[in-house]
Amino acid sequence: MKVEGTKDVATSLRRAQLEKWKKLGKSTDDVFVNVLKLDDKADDILTNPKFDAWVAYNRLTEANPEAAVLTSLKTRYGENGLSNILEMGTKVDSVKDFATTLQTMQLKNWKELKKSADDVFANVLMLSGKPDGLLANPRFSVWSKYLEIVPRRSKLDTPMIDTLRNHYTDDVLARNLVDAQAVPSTKSVAMNLKDSLVNKWVLERLLPKQVKALLLKSETADDGMVLLSQTYSARYKEVYGRYA
């Protein structure tokens, strides 16, 4: 006689439990809060085995289970909190695919609502506070992904650097980009943003002495800021043929 494997037994038991909840008329919300008691486990919720059971119950009872899960989590944690949860989930192999699916749906929802880059940055993801560590914030990665799917008026549009300049002064922004460049995980994006900032100054015809005064005026000025000032001077001369 073939003995049912442990995994098969567990699957059968879970299916029976899900059917029992359905027969009792339990809502997905009731199961989430009162049965599985998932309401206080936001940080690691996607990797919680009980969360997997709740998703399975959604698939049993909801016509569009992924949308139902997304809506329920958004109601509980807000767009901001949910964005953080999903972005962290995309880094975990066991839940990466599901987290990516939900994240893609969330970004698409913002796009359908025609949310601007600035609106998502400041009002949805709440990123407009102190810039320290901004580029390492998981929600900054979410914002970057959103910028990749929203339409631009032209190829010359630069929504990322433009939004950052809307919320931070150039000296503060430059300081944080220099710091972020020293961190391996944010080095690449920091370098790209520094290049974008330099290009903005060039287009605005800021004189090298103006940029030098801007970057070196504070006590936090260091070799990184000096190098950025020198980089700008060289770039200015390259474009306009002279120092000033």
pLDDT digits (tens, 9 = 90+) for 108-150: 999 999 999 999 999 999 999 889 999 999 999 999 999 999 9
Q: Report the distance separating Cα 215 and Cα 224, nearest Å.
A: 10
At 65, list the tokens.
């289970």
What is the 3-class SS of the chain, one letter each residue?
CCCCCHHHHHHHHHHHHHHHHHHCCCCHHHHHHHHCCCCCCCCCHHHCHHHHHHHHHHHHHCCCHHHHHHHHHHHHHHHHHHHHHHHHHCCCCCCHHHHHHHHHHHHHHHHHCCCCHHHHHHHHCCCCCCCCCHHHCHHHHHHHHHHHHCCCCCCCCCHHHHHHHHHCCHHHHHHHHHHHHCCCCCHHHHHHHHHHHHHHHHHCCCCHHHHHHHHCCCCCCCHHHHHHHHHHHHHHHHHHCCCC
At 38, list the tokens.
């998932």
What's the pLDDT at 32?
95
Residues 6+ away with beta carbon under 8 Å from 30 = none
What's the pLDDT at 3?
41
Question: Low-confidence residues of the chain, pLDDT below 50?
Answer: 1-4, 6, 9
